[in-house]
Amino acid sequence: MSKIIAVNAGSSTLKFKLYEMPEENVLAEGVIERIALPASHVEIKYGDGKKYEKTTDVKNHEQAIQILLDQLLDLDIIKEYSEINGVGHRVVAGGEYFDKSVVITPDVLKKIESLTELAPLHEPANVLGIKAFKKVLPDIISVAVFDTAFHATLPEKNFLYSLPYEYYEKYSARKYGFHGISYRYVSQRAAELLGKPVEDLKMIIMHLGAGASICAVKNGKSFDTSMGFTPVTGITMATRSGDVDSSLLAYVMEKEGMTDINEMIKVLNTKSGLLGISGVSADMREVEAAQATNPRAKVAREIYVNRIIRYVGAYLAEMGGADAIVFTAGVGENSITIRKEVAEGLNYFGIGVDNEKNDVRGVVRDISAKDSKIKTLLVPTDEELMIVRDVQTLANK
């Protein structure tokens, strides 16, 4: 029996989930928010519905980890630090270096640091989390689990851009894809629900969260995916634009007097998507609430659904059909109406949902209509479980 912690470090946040392994029991989970900002917030859920909360000043990620570990002791979740046998870090970009999870060594960390350009909003924070944990708990196994690794199986025809080939040779300019940890978990769980080996199935999985993407999974492997060189491309997201004509960016930059491309990249990442179109919110719930009286909110939601249908339709054509389409992540797991409208838009392919079965949130369920030719599934994701499983596997080796 061991205890393994899964960590997702953001620029000003530290999310965690502590598991007892190999039983896969969740002992505690929580988040420290507003790191390096005034009035940081610490929240830990544990036991039978218990919750610890505190507002304090947290200077950096190292202090955040120290606070987390001290609270695990104070709340009697662990008796001593040595009970934690391993830590798994979610790392967004693995580039072409990493096609699977790896034990973090100095060389591995150096390579991760070199990949900052692929995920500038995430990778530096991931590195901070790794270094901070290494400093506080230097002797336990530390594992990097990459969002891009699942997409290492993309064929060349799907990962190459139609640019001069030398850009790929010189700079590794290609599609990497993201949300791979989620896709790996959901594809395996969906296969269990269908009662078939994942290697025998073709699925299209829609990870619809604040960051959103779609993946065509063929025989258990990533075949195509909507996010590209960075997470900004693909479908419309909460604050990210999704696909945009690159010449339009040059046009808008000139009109707005922008001279730094990074300023435009920031617009694409933080001021676009549902927020940019609706002018109301990046939260789908608030956009839906406003759509009856706000035309921009209404069209933002219509665009969101339209882009999902467009990609799913393309992947159905690419793979020559599918056994199932699968909804997961925040919006996918909780928006009954989004699931219904996406299925209606794909009705031509023999996809449909049963209204009664679809009237749920956050549970594993086949929500297909009786006469559906392609199954429609709801499968909540569990990236943290995937992370600790990888730590356990590497620790056993």
Look up residue 90 and give its amino acid: R
Burial of residue 363, with CB atoms counted within 10 A of its CB: 0-12 exposed, 13-18 middle, 19 or more buried: exposed
Catalytic residue among 70, 74, 76, 147: 147
Q: Is 323 an annotated catalytic residue?
A: no
Strands 202-208 and 324-328 turn out to be parallel
Long-range CB contacts for residues 334-338, cutoff 8 Å, separation at least 24:
334/361, 334/362, 335/208, 335/284, 335/288, 336/360, 336/361, 337/288, 338/208, 338/284, 338/304, 338/305
* Residue 154 amino acid letter: L
Going edge to edge, which strands form the sheet with 14-21?
50-56, 40-46, 25-33, 14-21, 2-9, 84-91, 141-146, 102-103
CA dihedral 76, 362, 197, 390 (to 10 degrees): -30
Q: Which helix (H) or strand (E) holds 289?
A: helix 284-290
The residues near 68 (Cβ < 8 Å, ≥ 6 apart) are 14, 16, 30, 32, 42, 44
Termini Cα distance of the chain: 16
Sequence-separated (6 or more) residues with CB below 8 Å from residue 198: 187, 188, 190, 191, 217, 219, 220
CA nearest 104: which of 130, 131, 143? 143
Q: Which residues are catalytic?
A: 147
